[in-house]
Amino acid sequence: MLIWARRLRADRPRRAAARLAGFGYAVPGTVLAVGVVMVLASLDRGLNDLLAAIGLPGPGLLFSGTLFAVIFACTVRFLTIPVQGLDAGLQNLSPNLDSAARSLGARPAGLLRRVHLPLLRVPLATSALLVFVDTLKELPAALVLRPFNTNTLAVRAFELASDERLADAALPALAILLAGVAPVILLTRSMRVPHAPSP
Amino acid sequence: MLTLDRLSLRFDRQPVLDPISLTLDEGRIGCLIGPSGCGKTSLLRLIAGFLAPDGGRVLLDGEPVAEAHRQTPPEQRRVGMVFQDIALFPHLNVTDNIAFGLHRQPPATRRARVTELLALVGLPGLGDRYPHQLSGGQQQRVALARALAPRPRLLLLDEPFSALDAELREQISREVRQILLREGITALFVTHDQNEAFALADQVGVMHGGTLRQWDTPYRVYHQPADRTVADFIGGGVLMPGRVRDADRVDTALGELRGPLPPGLAPGAEVDVLVRPDDLVIDDDGPRRARVVECLFRGARMLYTLELDNGQRLPCLASSHHAHAEGTGVAVRLDLEHLVVFQSSRFTSR
Ligand SMILES: Nc1ncnc2c1ncn2[C@@H]1O[C@H](COP(=O)(O)OP(=O)(O)O)[C@@H](O)[C@H]1O
Ligand SMILES: [Mg+2]
């Protein structure tokens, strides 16, 4: 789940990319899924053609036929959450903190690791959590993109419910609920731990 | 040590710094002073490397660190900075804040340096506190210690005392001067408070609207201001109109004044004469009458605003032993040590 978060840290020069990231959240999951299939399928085709051209056996649907598709779709769809969370967090920090770190010999990577990351722990954790919960619930994209033999909890619940096996459907549904609630509890706990607030 | 060579800067094509040149020698303390918005912070950020100049060069120890298309990144310049908003790292305690710039050194060296600096800035034993547990003055000292820790070649301080109240400010600025001298560090301050500048600096620069009007000793900036902007800004004086009589005399509402005049002033030329609050003396035998328009109690001194018969208002700093009430008349005498005269602006467009 932290793939998203990890991507974001590098997203410090928040430019047009951040705006683009907001796009995925606005698009319905199904539309997104079809878009992802198209992009990844053409990638697959390109790769297979390339390998065929140099005489190697193609790996098949490397991108569109695997878990990669689901993860990629969720990344696109939920990227905006951490982008915005961290953006707000960063804007709360005085730009002079950055300048201070640099003048004390920290390179940009050091600035990120020694100043931004520790100070953005809470926004980071919050957005990771939101993404985690949202991903658990994401149905349409997962339905279209999941590889055979792989289910997400939401898909499982949906299948069972549409077969009218409501009692069985309750199990994955409850699991979603629990998985969603548990980190919230953990997070509120960790936020109560004394942690130097900004002055 | 520090040389600025025709340094200029624009923001969105708007000039912020017109070509600025100055040099600051090793171990000296320089101070830039000027009204807010005149480009002081921008100049420091150029020197530290957070901004790139649009023209000119910055040299440290004769080595260019910023010139056209080639910038040394800030972390390689060995230039420390103390910021206007202090900017301590809120997630680190005092020790770790000070040690931030020392993380490549062995732990023992690091610990020794932190202890030394805590003693130097007068905060021994507070190493475990977090910034939010310190008073403003203490935070300021930690910020200074943090900037000094890696022994920078040059220390920049951007209005370091503006967040402190007046009393603390004077005390801390005196302490800081002692600390800088003890560490033998070359430093460049920025302030908009001239008392602070005069108290701290070996060399004072007066900035106005992105230009450096004068870069000189405090004495010369005060007594020989380079132009009327500097004269206006420094020392709380006023410019009083006068007329040149001959090569070294000027007629004014306060009588004839003698002294060297700038070249190129013909007899009869309109000029402005600088009158500082301490140039005007209330003296019962004085040749001119004036009326007290306003008086401000300043403790040992009283700052009067006096009005001459012709309506000219002048400041006057006098002992507060003999109070003169507003509206009363006094006799005054001008006691000018340095005649400062500028060509009148009344007929030139401003
Ligand atoms: N990032 C910026 N973008 C555009 N204009 C700026 C920026 N920073 C400062 N300025 C402008 O540059 C001028 C000088 O600002 P500054 O150096 O902060 O002045 P000072 O520190 O003397 O108060 C001001 O007119 C300000 O509006
Ligand atoms: Mg400023």
- The single-letter DSSP state of residue B226 is S
Q: Which residues pair with B294 in a beta bridge?
A: B305
Q: pLDDT tens, B287-327? A: 889 999 999 988 888 899 999 988 899 999 988 888 888 99
Q: Which protein residue has the closest C-alpha to ligand 1 atom 4?
A: B11
Q: Which residues contact B330 (CB under 8 A, 6 or more apart)?
A: B282, B286, B289, B290, B291, B292, B306, B324
| Position B171, amino acid | Q
Contact A102 B50 (CB under 8 A): yes
Q: Are A74 and A138 in contact (CB under 8 A)?
A: yes
What amino acid occupies position B256? E
C-alpha of B20 from chain center: 16
Which of A44-58, A115-129, B67-81, B334-348 shows the lowest per-residue confidence on average (mean pLDDT)? A44-58
pLDDT of residue A198: 43
| Biggest alpha carbon–alpha carbon distance for chain A | 65
CB–CB of B293/B313 below 8 Å?
A: yes
Q: Is the pLDDT reported for residue A2 higher than 50?
A: no
Residue B223: φ, ψ to 5° = -95, -20
Long-range contacts of A120-124, Cβ-Cβ distance < 8 Å, separation of 24 or more: A120/A86, A120/A89, A120/A90, A121/A195, A122/A89, A122/A191, A122/A195, A123/A85, A123/A86, A123/A88, A123/A89, A124/A5, A124/A82, A124/A85, A124/A86, A124/A89
The ligand whose atoms approach the alpha carbon of B17 most closely is 1
The edge-to-edge listing of strands for the beta sheet with B154-158 is B79-82, B154-158, B186-191, B29-33, B203-208, B211-216
DSSP B62-80: TEEEEETTEE--GGGTTEE
For helices A80-91 and A67-78, angle between their N-to-C axes, nearest 10 degrees: 40
Is the pLDDT assigned to residue B50 strictly greater than 80? yes
What pLDDT does B136 receive?
Answer: 87
Measured between alpha carbons, how far is A104 from B77 in angstroms, rounded to an integer?
A: 10
CB B252 within 8 A of CB B280: no
Contacts A–B by Cβ distance under 8 A = 79
Distance in Å, alpha carbon of B90 to nearest chain A alpha carbon: 5
The pLDDT score that the predictor gives to residue B6 is 93
Contact predicate B186/B28, CB 8 Å: yes
Distance from CA of B345 to the nearest CA of A (A): 42
pLDDT in tens, B87-140: 999 999 999 999 999 988 999 999 999 999 999 888 998 999 999 999 988 999
CB contact under 8 A, A106 and B100: yes
Mutate to test the pocket of ligand 1, among B36, B42, B44 (most ligand atoms within 8 A of CB): B42
Query: pLDDT tens for residues B158-185?
Result: 998 887 787 788 888 888 899 899 888 9
- Sort out which chain B residues have CB atoms less than 8 A from A119's CB and list them: 89-91
Q: How confident is the model at residue B4 (pLDDT cuts 50, 70, 90)?
A: very high
Ligand 1 atom 12, closest CA: B16
Query: How many whole angstroms separate alpha carbon A47 and alpha carbon B128?
Result: 57
Range with lowest mean pLDDT among A2-11, A52-61, B96-105: A2-11
Contact, B102 vs B150, CB < 8 A? yes
Q: What is the atom index within ligand 1 of the atom nearest the CA of B207? A: 22
A65-107 pLDDT per residue, tens: 566 666 666 666 666 666 666 666 667 777 888 899 999 988 8
Q: Three-state DSSP class for B297?
A: strand
Cβ <8 Å between A103 and B75 = yes
Q: What residues contact A165, with CB distance under 8 A and at least 6 apart?
A: none
pLDDT by residue (tens digit) across B245-256? 988 899 998 888
CA distance A135 to chain B (A): 31
Residue nearest to atom 5 of ligand 1 (CA): B11
pLDDT-derived band at A59, boundaries 50, 70, 90:
low
- Cβ-defined contacts of B319-325 (< 8 Å, 24+): B322/B282, B323/B295, B324/B282, B324/B292, B324/B295, B325/B292, B325/B295
| pLDDT (0 to 100) of residue A72 | 65
pTM strictly above 0.90: no
Which tokens sit at B284? Answer: 């019962």
Q: Which residue has the tokens 């060509």?
A: B343
pLDDT value of residue A153:
66
State the pLDDT at residue A12: 45
